[in-house]
Amino acid sequence: MSALSDKPRRGRPKKQPMDTLDTRESLLRAGMQVLTEAGFVSSSIDPILRSVGVPKGSFYHYFSSKEAFGLAVLERYCRYFEKKLDRFLLDDAFTPLQRLRNFAQDAEIGIIRHDFKRGCLVGNLEQESILLSDTFRLRLQETYVSWQNRVASCLAEGQKQKEVTSDQTVEDMSQIFWIGWEGAVHRARLVKSTQPLSAFLGFFLQTVQLTK
């Protein structure tokens, strides 16, 4: 073998496997940030692509359409939020109603940290549901059912511990919780205060707490 052939080959360095999954995940994270602040229909994918450094022409390598991207962002947010709910609502170090208080307190801290700009992605999408496809609206409904089931389980445990009233079903109470909570989140962003969150939670807990 000649000395020339022993030299390392020049040229473009071997490309490290930039994982498609990593880029896709970065796009989803950026999408979550945008959609917790704004609606889906009026949002452009351009700032999302710029924030991740992905050329616009490459977007369709990762997602077949803007709607497919939105549904994927929604799915990722749902998984994130389900884990968050489980962390609070399954914490048996606290009574069931205190778990709800802890969840609400964490939400208040979060909305203050983001200067009242970020809300609930699902709630934002719900506000423009009339403009979304049937697939989108069905996925939103399924998400609420998942969240309601978690609150219902927490309230059912509260009934067993004689902390929560049995005058209403846990299914009805959990639905009321999410209807009111999402409204309180929107109002908190409007007035830039956590008072609506505290007011709703106080009213809800007073309504469902078993009077002894």
Question: DSSP assignment of 131-183, as one string?
Answer: GS-HHHHHHHHHHHHHHHHHHHHHHHHHHHTT-B-SSS-HHHHHHHHHHHHHH
Residue pointed to by tokens 């979060």: 110
Measured CA to CA, the distance from residue 31 to residue 45 in angstroms comes to 8
Amino acid, res. 154: C
How high is the pLDDT of residue 212? 67
- Tally of CA atoms within 13 A in the half-sphere of 28 that contains its CB: 19
> For residue 16, what pLDDT is reported?
36
pLDDT at 59: 85
Among 28, 128, 129, 33, smallest CA distance to 70 is for 28
Position 21 scores a pLDDT of: 61
Handedness of CA 179, 180, 186, 190 (dihedral sign): positive
Per residue of the chain (212 residues), give pLDDT as tens. 433 334 444 444 333 334 566 888 889 999 998 888 888 887 888 888 888 888 887 888 889 999 999 999 999 999 999 999 999 999 999 999 999 999 999 999 999 999 999 989 999 899 999 999 999 999 999 999 999 999 999 999 999 999 999 999 999 999 999 999 999 999 999 999 999 999 999 999 999 999 86
Give the pLDDT confidence score for residue 20 in this predicted structure. 61
Burial 95-114 (b: 16+ CB within 10 A, else e): ebbebbebbbeebbeebeee
Q: What is the pTM of this model?
A: 0.84
Question: Could you tell me which residues come within 8 angstroms of residue 39 by beta carbon, excluding any fewer than 6 positions away?
Answer: 124, 125, 127, 128
What is the per-residue pLDDT for 136?
93
Task: Give 63-106 as a DSSP string.
Answer: -SSHHHHHHHHHHHHHHHHHHHHHHHHT-TTS-HHHHHHHHHHH
Domain ranges of the chain: 75-208
* Domain 75-208 CATH (choose: 1.10.101.10, 1.10.357.10, 3.40.30.10, 2.40.10.340): 1.10.357.10
Q: Rounded to whole angstroms, how far apart are CA atoms 174 and 128?
A: 23
DSSP state of 114: T
DSSP 28-44: HHHHHHHHHHS-STT--
The whole-angstrom separation of Cα 27 and Cα 122 is 18
Distance CA 78, CA 175 (A): 17
Distance (Å) of CA 42 to CA 35, 37, 38, 82, 118: 10, 12, 8, 27, 16
